[in-house]
């Protein structure tokens, strides 16, 4: 019934959605533009996409700086633009823009014998839009639609290299796993709707608080939904698709996958589970509902399993791209630590970690893109001596990897520190110890890459000529390096952004 | 520079490293000169520190205290007392001399000196930081440059040694990290009522929460911190990274490793574990004394079996750090003062030994003890320097090692009679391995292979002479260093042992 209850939107509500409107427009204009030039002049869709993302981004920045405390309803109760949506929107647009810029210099995207290279650019714009909507959904229908939206674009993008076996296989795997998990999640959603009779998150919460569900029914629904979302964020044991897809897809697209949809999945999980289950308005007190069915233990076990499994498997990888794929799974494990108790402190730590993770993970993947242009390989053996062939880029890669490993003075350490503190504050010691042990394991495989690049001496006769990167690549890597360093020693303001995003998240209405 | 002397000492090398990053890599002489200048400034400031340090108070001096990250209660809080001053002086001195000793580094000169300067900054920061977060930041900042210095400029097994060092130390520091978070959450800032990283607040037991007052928790936290520091010292059985790292590292890096890095472990115990968890320190003290004895004997026996000079010196370091532990465990005035003095003396003496090993290795490209013989005739000046260092290491009266070891035994004997007696055997074994090496390398028939080895040169002497003078002076008159630390350490004993 709520669907029909559309009220007339106010101007300020609509204005808060300008970035999304710009993104939608960008997609359409770039699509038409690409058709007009018949896929030959790729610079046109590229330029349109960059322009659109920059425009949308400036609106998004202005919105975050403005810190508008009111939540704007979009399309009735389907979506909401609030502080949290604003935070994630900025993250997604930044990710999209960085990916588009870097892809422009990537041989995998631009050098591939393929028509319609412009497709990549407007699909990225569309994906950015869908991810923004994921962070804004507050209705089961919109939740499902936005997830499927991101999924569909991802399936197409994973198969970007149509003639490549790896790429097509990646795409197919993605589709099959995606379809199954969507079905499971949909079943959970239908149970929840059946029990509470409401589609909106707030309505579901009201229904649950009124005692609409028995603990077992709630547990079943929550677990099924969690499974569907775990697939999106690639948490163990629903991660199987991730390494193959990341390895098979062109690297710039893997970079996007490892950051964008993952963060969007977390945004959706935060809004959905926090609104429906952690019912208290006070972020500090946490929740009462989750205590009914042992939610914390469920998530804690998943978090620990994700970290342990991904880190152990990563140890044995010899392909840098695949190694980074497992590394990004292990980071999901760390981030899930903040999700255990659904407290404000934990969620703030998640947001800050996602911010840091975006910079460092994109940086590491982009370095692989840049090297792939020259070496046509992601094999660890071919990375030998790279540090001396491209010293500046190599130094930046060390910073990204060090940050991923979580050692000071890089941003990744601060992200972990906040997560650890949030969990320790609630006395979940075993989980913190598991995470601490895992950071030591992580160091080993991240530094396997550093070792190849700087320590191992190249064999006799190996190519040791200097590698020159495209100026755009240096620029984007530099732009990612600065926050990876700065957030390691001066993070007060940025943590405040994450705190504000959680504080301004609306759970009512 | 007067106001912010500690910050200048810590961050001036970083400025030097930044400058070096922008010098073209072919201009090696300029790079080396800039590096030497950047390391000379902290040394000059250290002299100023030595002159101006007030020896009559246990309070922190040269304090710099600013808010850094308000929302997480992190402060930029630097200051030194009698415990840190000797370490700060040692760091400034050895870093400068090591830059000079590295003059022959030909491979990737730019990267080497830039990393070395960052390493110096991190070490200095560890000894000056009074905010736990800041301390941890510097503590970890050291790892990355060290990893590269061993891994790129090291010997044949450098890759293995570098990652082993890194993993061991990181495993220790994550335990320290967890303990740090536990302290953060359970110590109350008396002025604001919030959480705090301020070490001085942590040392005040009345700020501890109920949870932190539980004996089991305190013991657990003590052990967590202890393992973190023990890996650095290194205490048996966490020591296995040390011989590998030492053997593979280039000479100057070995000097820093043995001279400064190992002291961070014992410094950490004295600066953090003792005053924050004094009851746990007393609970653990007997075990600590026994660990000290094991280190002394085990290190000495291992040293005896070595045929590689550098490995021998590395194991002798393990043995000598054992004396520090024994003195620390005693909680007597002589014991703790002796321990900190031993930290300083071991830093200077081992530095001399490693520099001497480096001199012969540069020329002969081998460190095999049995491959030498009769070097005393070939390189008489060098022989006298090396013998001087070795005699200092076995604690010959008149040289500084004797004073600190004697103080440690005087301090430990009344408390742990048996342990001290067994430990004293280490001195005899120490004399044995040192003299035996001396005999095999410098005495006996001359090996014709080494006929063309030139004697020690002026640059090498420049690095050895200042340390030699310090060793000699402190052997006769140790008061300049003892005066620095006495008041602070007596205060520490009062805190711990009541």
Contacts of B72 (CB under 8 A, 6+ apart): A492, A495, B133
pLDDT given for residue A53 in this prediction: 93
Three-state secondary structure call for residue B69: strand
Q: Provide DSSP, A99-120.
A: HHHHHHT-HHHHSSS-S-THHH
- Contact between B148 and A454 using a beta-carbon 8 Å cutoff: yes
- The number of C-alpha atoms within 13 Å of A155 and in the hemisphere containing its C-beta is 13
Contact residues, chain A, for B164 at CB < 8 Å: none
Residue A440 CA, chain-centre distance (Å), reads 24
Average of pLDDT values for B242-256? 90
Cα gap A407→B422, rounded to integer Å: 41
pLDDT of residue B336: 92
Query: How far apart, in whole angstroms, are the C-alpha atoms of residue A286 and residue A280?
Result: 6
CA–CA separation, B69 and B3 (whole Å):
22
Residues near B106 by Cβ (< 8 Å), separated by ≥ 6?
Answer: B28
Q: Do B167 and A492 touch (CB under 8 A)?
A: no
pLDDT score at A2: 47
Is B21 near chain A, with CB under 8 Å?
no
Reported confidence tier of residue A291, pLDDT bands at 50, 70, 90: low
- Facing residue for B136 by CB, picked from A408, A433, A454: A408
Confidence class for position A508, pLDDT limits 50, 70, 90: low
Q: Global pTM?
A: 0.93
CA distance A256 to chain B (A): 29
Residue A329 has pLDDT above 50, yes or no: yes
Contact between chains at B72 and A454 (C-beta distance less than 8 A): no
A262 touches chain B (CB under 8 A): no
Output the average pLDDT for chain B: 90
Answer whether B175 sits within 8 Å of A444, measured CB to CB: no
Q: Verify whether the Cβ–Cβ distance B141 to A408 is below 8 Å.
A: yes
pLDDT recorded at residue B2: 60
* β-bridge partners, A319: A379
Give the A:B interface size as CB pairs under 8 Å. 76
Spans of all domains in chain A:
2-503
Give the span between the Cα atoms of A184 and A197, in whole angstroms. Answer: 19
Spatial distance between the Cα atoms of B160 and A386, rounded to a whole number of angstroms: 19
Q: Does A432 touch chain B (CB under 8 A)?
A: yes
Minimum CA–CA partner of A387 in chain B: B152
Q: Which positions in chain A touch B182 (Cβ < 8 Å)?
A: 424
- Which residue of A351, A407, A423 is the best one to mutate when testing the B interface, meaning the one whose CB has the most B CBs within 10 A? A407
Kindly determine whether residue B175 and residue A402, on different chains, have CB atoms separated by under 8 Å. no
Contact A445, A315 (CB under 8 A): yes
Beta-bridge partners for B368: B308
Higher-scoring residue by pLDDT: B132, A43? B132
- On the CB side of A118, CA atoms within 13 Å amount to 25
Q: Looking at the predicted structure, is the pLDDT value of residue A241 above 80? A: yes
Task: Give chain B positions within 8 Å (CB) of A417.
Answer: 177, 181
Identify the band that residue A63 occupies on the pLDDT scale cut at 50, 70 and 90: confident
CA distance B321 to chain A (A): 26
Which pLDDT tens digit goes with each residue over B400-439? Answer: 989 999 999 999 999 998 999 999 999 999 999 999 988 8
Place A493 in a pLDDT band, splitting at 50, 70 and 90.
confident
Question: How many angstroms separate the CA atoms of A265 and A149, rounded?
Answer: 12
Please report which confidence band the pLDDT of residue A283 belongs to, taking 50, 70 and 90 as the band edges.
very low
Nearest to A447 among B137, B166, B184 (CB): B166
- Using alpha carbons, select from B45, B61, B53 the residue that is nearest to residue B9: B45
The b-or-e profile of A106-126 (16+ CB within 10 A means b, else e) is bebbbebebeebbbbbbbbbb
Residue-level pLDDT at A240 = 85
Whole-angstrom CA distances from A329 to A258, A333, A428, B153, B335 are 9, 7, 22, 34, 51
Task: Specify the pLDDT at position A286.
Answer: 45
Specify the DSSP class assigned to residue B61: E
Alpha-carbon distance of B270 to B280, in angstroms, equals 13
Q: State residue A215's pLDDT score.
A: 78
CA distances from B475 to A375, B215, B401, B462 (A): 60, 43, 7, 21
Q: What is the mean pLDDT of residues A88-115?
A: 86
| CA dist., res. A469 & res. A391, Å (int) | 11
- pLDDT tens for B195-208 read 999 998 998 888 88
Alpha-carbon gap, residue B421 to B469, rounded angstroms:
32
Q: Give the per-residue pLDDT at B14.
A: 93
């Amino acid at each position: 019934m709520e669907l029909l209850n559309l009220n007339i939107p106010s101007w300020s509500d609509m204005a808060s959605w300008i970035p999304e409107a710009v993104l939608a427009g960008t997609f359409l204009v770039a699509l038409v533009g690409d058709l007009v030039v018949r896929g030959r002049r790729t610079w046109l869709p590229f330029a349109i996409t960059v322009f659109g993302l920059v425009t949308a981004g400036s609106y998004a920045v202005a919105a975050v700086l403005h810190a508008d405390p009111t939540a704007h309803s979009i399309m009735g109760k389907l979506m909401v633009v609030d502080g949290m949506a604003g935070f994630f929107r900025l993250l997604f647009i930044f990710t999209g823009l960085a990916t588009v810029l870097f892809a422009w210099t990537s041989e995998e995207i631009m050098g591939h014998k393929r028509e319609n290279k412009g497709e990549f650019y407007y699909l990225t714009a569309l994906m950015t839009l869908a991810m923004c909507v994921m962070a804004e959904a507050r209705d089961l229908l919109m939740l499902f639609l936005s997830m499927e939206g991101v999924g569909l674009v991802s399936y197409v993008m994973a198969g970007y290299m149509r003639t490549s076996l790896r790429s097509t296989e990646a795409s197919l795997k993605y589709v099959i796993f995606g379809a199954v998990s969507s079905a499971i999640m949909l079943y959970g959603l239908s149970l929840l709707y059946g029990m509470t009779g409401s589609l909106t998150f707030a309505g579901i919460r009201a229904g649950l608080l009124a005692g609409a569900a028995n603990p077992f029914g709630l547990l079943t629904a929550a677990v099924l939904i969690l499974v569907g979302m775990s697939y999106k964020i690639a948490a163990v044991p629903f991660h199987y698709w991730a390494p193959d897809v990341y390895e098979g897809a062109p690297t710039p697209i893997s970079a996007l996958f490892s950051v964008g949809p993952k963060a969007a999945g977390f945004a959706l999980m935060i809004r959905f589970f926090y609104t429906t289950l952690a019912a208290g308005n006070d972020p500090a007190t946490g929740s009462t509902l989750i205590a009914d069915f042992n939610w914390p233990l469920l998530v804690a076990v998943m978090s620990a399993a994700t970290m342990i499994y991904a880190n152990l498997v990563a140890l044995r990888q010899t392909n840098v791209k695949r190694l980074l794929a497992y590394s990004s799974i292990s980071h999901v494990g760390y981030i899930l630590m903040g999700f255990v108790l659904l407290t404000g402190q934990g969620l703030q730590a998640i947001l800050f970690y996602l911010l840091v993770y975006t910079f460092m993970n994109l940086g590491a993947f982009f370095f692989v893109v840049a090297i792939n242009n020259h070496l046509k390989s992601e094999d660890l053996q071919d990375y030998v001596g790279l540090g001396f062939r491209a010293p500046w880029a190599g130094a930046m890669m060390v910073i990204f990897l060090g940050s991923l490993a979580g050692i000071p003075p890089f941003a990744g350490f601060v992200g972990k520190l906040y997560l650890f503190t949030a969990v320790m504050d609630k006395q979940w010691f075993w989980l913190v110890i598991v995470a601490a042990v895992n950071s030591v394991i992580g160091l080993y495989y991240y530094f396997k890459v550093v070792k190849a690049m700087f320590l191992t001496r190249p064999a006799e006769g190996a190519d040791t000529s200097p590698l020159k990167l495209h100026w755009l690549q240096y620029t984007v890597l530099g732009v990612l390096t600065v926050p990876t360093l700065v957030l390691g020693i001066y993070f007060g303001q940025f943590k405040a952004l994450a705190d504000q995003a959680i504080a301004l998240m609306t759970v009512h209405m | 520079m007067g106001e912010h002397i500690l910050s200048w000492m810590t961050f001036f090398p970083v400025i030097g490293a930044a400058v070096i990053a922008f010098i073209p890599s072919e201009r090696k002489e300029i790079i080396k000169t800039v590096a030497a200048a950047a390391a000379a400034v902290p040394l000059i400031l250290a002299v100023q520190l030595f002159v101006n340090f007030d020896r009559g108070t246990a309070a922190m001096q040269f304090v710099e205290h600013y808010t850094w990250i308000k929302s997480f209660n992190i402060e930029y809080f630097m200051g030194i007392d009698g415990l840190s001053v000797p370490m700060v002086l040692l760091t400034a001195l050895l870093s400068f001399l090591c830059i000079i000793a590295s003059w022959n580094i030909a491979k990737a000169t730019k990267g080497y000196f830039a990393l070395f300067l960052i390493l110096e900054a991190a070490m200095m920061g560890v000894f000056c930081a009074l905010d736990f977060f800041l301390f941890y930041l510097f503590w970890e900042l050291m790892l990355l440059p060290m990893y590269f210095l061993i891994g790129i400029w090291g010997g044949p097994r450098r890759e293995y040694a570098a990652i082993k060092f890194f993993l061991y130390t990181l495993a220790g520091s994550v335990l320290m990290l967890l303990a740090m978070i536990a302290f953060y959450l359970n110590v109350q800032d008396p002025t604001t009522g919030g959480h705090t990283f301020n070490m001085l607040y942590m040392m005040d037991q009345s700020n501890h929460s109920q949870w932190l007052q539980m004996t089991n928790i305190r013991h657990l936290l003590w052990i967590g911190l202890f393992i973190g520091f023990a890996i650095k010292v290194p205490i048996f059985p966490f020591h296995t990274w040390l011989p590998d790292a030492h053997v593979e590292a280039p000479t100057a890096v070995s000097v820093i490793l043995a001279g400064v890095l190992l002291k961070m472990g014992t410094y950490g115990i004295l600066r953090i574990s003792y005053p924050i968890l004094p009851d746990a320190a007393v609970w653990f003290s007997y075990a600590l004394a026994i660990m000290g004895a094991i280190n002394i004997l085990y290190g000495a026996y291992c040293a005896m079996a070595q045929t590689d000079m550098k490995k021998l010196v590395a194991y002798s370091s393990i043995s000598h750090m054992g004396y520090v532990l024994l003195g620390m465990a005693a909680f007597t005035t002589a014991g703790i003062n002796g321990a900190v003095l031993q930290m300083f003396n071991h830093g200077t003496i081992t530095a001399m030994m490693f520099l001497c090993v480096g001199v012969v290795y540069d020329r002969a490209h081998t460190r095999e003890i049995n491959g030498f013989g009769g070097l005393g005739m070939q390189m008489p000046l060098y022989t006298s320097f090396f013998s001087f260092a070795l005699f200092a290491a076995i604690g010959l009266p008149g040289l500084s090692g004797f004073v600190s070891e004697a103080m440690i035994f005087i301090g430990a004997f009344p408390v742990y009679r048996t342990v001290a007696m067994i430990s004293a055997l280490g001195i005899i074994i120490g004399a044995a391995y040192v003299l035996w090496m001396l005999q095999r390398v410098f005495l006996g028939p001359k090996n014709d292979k080494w006929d063309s080895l030139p004697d020690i040169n002026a640059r090498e002497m420049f690095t050895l002479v200042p340390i030699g003078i310090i060793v000699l002076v402190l052997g006769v008159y140790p008061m300049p260093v003892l005066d620095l630390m006495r008041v602070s350490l007596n205060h520490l004993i009062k805190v711990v042992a009541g």
